[in-house]
Amino acid sequence: MDTSTHIVMGVGLAGLATLDPNVAGSPYMQTAVLATTLVASNAPDFDTVLKLRNNAVYIRHHRGITHSLPAVLLWPFVISGLLMLFFQNAYWPTLLLWGAISVFLHVFVDIFNAYGTQALRPVSNRWIALGVINIFDPVIFGSHGIGIILWIFGVPPGPTFLAIYAGLIIYYLWRIHQKKQVVKKARALHPTASHIFVSPTIRWNKWHLVIRTPEMLYVAQSKDKVIRFFESYTFDPIPSDPVMQAACSDKNLAAFLSFSPTYRWEMEATETNGYEVRFVDLRYRSNGYYPFVAIVKMDSAMNIVTSYTGWVYSEETLRKKLKIIT
């Protein structure tokens, strides 16, 4: 989920924590728990600082080690221990408990969007992305916002957020059912499909689809339970020729391939007798454009001249980024 959602969830969990007898009667403990849940609800995303290095490092590692099984166990001890320096009279086991709940919930809800996490690492490095909830969901954010407003106006936060989380469980189950219906309809149209990639959007009735058959890739959209097809491409595995192998050694393209499960690629000679290799993630079609890309430019000897991976929304912007990197 996005940062704003994790923040309101941190506040919501602090409200829910007022049902805890160790918190309910103590304004001091309520403040300490609020600080704990706010920090813990955002701690797994502290790896966002990797963007300061480059996109390749960020894409390859974001939601990786910081969302792993060891991290989920370690974060609560680190956070609660540090906050005990500021709240020395707080009851540490309670801070540890609500820190653990906050960290777990952060990683758990991230599993449900299309980006996913490596939540089972080191048991498995596979990305778990259920594609059920958009990275920003108005229902999740809005329900927390309403709960916070009611809390400000004096409504007891414990029962309020207990009701909100009960409602959100039902909402998640409904979204899972909706996705299954989309997949079922897509498979009925393409019964030979080996993979059906579904990405939720900010609108509950609209889903992005990529249907992969043994021969083709179909880019589509499901809206109001009607599937509309946009483009189709021949499904070509990555070739083993020298040009492509040289391109795949680039850190930006390697990061892209570690993250993207469905893409198309292009390879062409340039005017300077070099080569340009481009990969496009098909899951994120926006107004006829595919914004998540990786591009590698090489000279005639297949030396990498420049490369880029990340989100760009126009060809002009992409070319400018490549010139800056060069």
The secondary structure of 245-285 as a DSSP string is: HHHHTSHHHHHHHHH-SSEEEEEEE-TTS-EEEEEEEGGG-
Q: What is the pLDDT of residues 70-116, one digit of tens each?
A: 999 999 999 999 999 999 999 999 999 999 999 999 999 999 998 88
Q: What pLDDT, on a 0 to 100 scale, did the predictor assign at position 190?
A: 96
Average pLDDT over the chain, rounded to an integer: 91
Q: What contacts 143, CB < 8 A, 6 or more positions away?
A: 164, 167, 168
Q: What pLDDT, on a 0 to 100 scale, did the predictor assign at position 324?
A: 53
pTM of the shown model: 0.88
Q: What pLDDT, on a 0 to 100 scale, did the predictor assign at position 246?
A: 94
Which amino acid belongs to residue 128? I
Map out the domains of the chain as residue ranges: 3-174, 191-232, 242-325
Q: Is 38 helix (H, G, I), strand (E, B) or coil?
A: helix
From residue 120, how far is each of 18, 112, 260 by CA, in Å?
A: 31, 14, 18
Q: What pLDDT, on a 0 to 100 scale, did the predictor assign at position 78?
A: 97
Q: What pLDDT, on a 0 to 100 scale, did the predictor assign at position 321?
A: 66
Q: What pLDDT, on a 0 to 100 scale, did the predictor assign at position 28?
A: 98
Q: Which residues of the chain have pLDDT under 50?
A: none
